[in-house]
Each structure stands twice: as C-alpha cells, then as structure tokens.
Amino acid sequence: MNYIQLFTITVLSLLSSCGQNANTNNTMSEKTHTYLALGDSYTIGEGVEEAGRYPNQTVKLLKDSGLSFDKPTIIATTGWTTDELQNGIVSADIDGKTYDLVTLLIGVNNQYRGRDLENYTSEFQSLLEQAIQFAKNEANHVVVISIPDWGVTPFADERNTDKEKVAREIDLFNAANQEIAQAMGVHYIEITERYREIGAQEEMVVADKLHPSALVYAEWAQKLSDLVIEKMSF
C-alpha cells in the first residue's frame, strides 16, 4: 500500500468517526421533557377539547420549536379552591415525582366563594412550595399564571354581578400571588388585563359564557412557550 492510499484511508476513517460522533451527540440531546400543570377550570380547560387546553397547546408550540415534551400531567378540576387543589395533589399520588416544567394557576374559586385574602395567601404559598419541589427544586422551571377576571364575562352580566367588586378582589389575589412568586424566584405571567379586554367577546368564551375558549388559551400558551424557550434551559 503506497503513501497516497494510506492517507486516503486515514482521512475517510476520521470523517466516518466524526459523523458517528455527531449522530451520537444529537441522539443524546434529544430528550423528552415532562410538564405538570396545577390549577382549576382554567387549567383543565372547562368546555374546550383536550387539545385546546393551554398546557396542551403549550406542549405543541414547544414541540414545533424543537423542544419535546410528553403529554402534560394535569391536576385540575373545575371549581377547585386552593385547599381542594392540595387535596387533589395528594389524591394524584405523585409524591416524590419530579417534572421539568411546573405551572400553577389557582384562586378564582377562592374569590368566587368569598374566601378571605389571608387564607388564599397562606394556601397559595404552600402550593407554590410544592410546585418548586416537583420541579426538582429549580424555581426557574416554575411558572405562576395570574387569575383571570371572570367578572367581564357574559355569565357575570346575566347575573348582574358587581363587576367592580370582583375586579378589586381579583386584583388583591393577584397582587398576593405575584409577590409570593417573586419572593420565591419563580416566573410570573400576567394575563388578567388582556383577559379584561377580550373576555366578554362571544368567540372568547365557551357555551357556558363563563370559561375561556381555546382562542384565549392559545394566547396563554404562546406566552408560556416563549418564556420557556427564552428563560429556561433543559
């Protein structure tokens, strides 16, 4: 074998090895992540198809951006208050499990049922502490979403709801959950003011004239997916 033949074989071997290493590295980086969504009717998506829920829309947007997530684990039921969500977490038997992303949106039913702010603040803080634990104690992978103002909806109109009272109380609840979120170092997405602009529109509510349609959830999902892509590393 002459020198030229030996050189050619060596180069081809090196190129082949580099290609194999590149493929191996790409394969190793292709991990499917997990997402836990905690909440109430807004998280379970009352009145919309499963694909229209904001956690499910978020996962699709992330996948389209090249970040793979499993189907979200959703612990949420229409009507839940903070203490009922806590009970739901216990019943779900996920103690000890961890997730790459955790979101928390809870409190509208506390306000709707006339529960006081002090009670909400205490129970919300406990839930957020749990959320961080579920996120492997990485606060940067936890997101709190503000409570929408149901007082702007046609449902509220039909019941002659005191909209100013609802708005005032929702603002107090949101001020509390935002302060706690900031103190604990988690992300916060404010959707309430935008919801006040669109929540009364016919296409923005489902048949019960109270809960958001998939169009509203699409906006929340876009905000959440943008935050995940820009602020988190996986």
Parse the chain into domains and list their residue ranges.
Answer: 1-30, 31-231
Q: Are 51 and 62 in contact (CB under 8 A)?
A: no
Asked whether residue 23 carries a pLDDT value surpassing 70, the answer given is no
Q: What is the DSSP string of the chain?
A: --HHHHHHHHHHHHHHHHHHHHHHHHHHH---B-EEEEESHHHHTTTS-GGGSHHHHHHHHHHHTT--BPSPEEEE-TT--HHHHHHHHHHHT-TT---SEEEE---HHHHHTT--HHHHHHHHHHHHHHHHHHTTT-GGGEEEEPPP-GGGSHHHHHTT--HHHHHHHHHHHHHHHHHHHHHTT-EEE--HHHHHHHTTSGGGB-TTSSSB-HHHHHHHHHHHHHHHHHH---
How big is the CA angle at 78 (ends 145 and 44), to the nearest 5 degrees? 55
SS (H, E, C) 16-37: HHHHHHHHHHHHHHCCCECEEE
Instruction: Summarize pLDDT for 51-103 with one digit per residue, the tens.
Output: 999 999 999 999 999 999 999 999 999 999 999 999 999 999 999 999 999 99
Instruction: Summarize pLDDT for 3-16 with one digit per residue, the tens.
Output: 444 444 444 444 44
pLDDT at 179: 98
Asked whether residue 207 carries a pLDDT value surpassing 70, the answer given is yes
pLDDT at 186: 98
Measured from the Cβ of residue 46, the count of other Cβ atoms closer than 10 Å reads: 19
The pair of three-digit structure tokens given for residue 24, joined into one six-digit string: 């191996």
Instruction: Summarize pLDDT for 112-151 with one digit per residue, the tens.
Output: 999 999 999 999 999 999 999 999 999 999 999 999 999 9
| pLDDT over 90, % of the chain | 87
The CATH code belonging to domain 31-231 is 3.40.50.1110
Full-model pTM? 0.88
Banded model confidence at residue 30, pLDDT cuts 50, 70, 90: confident
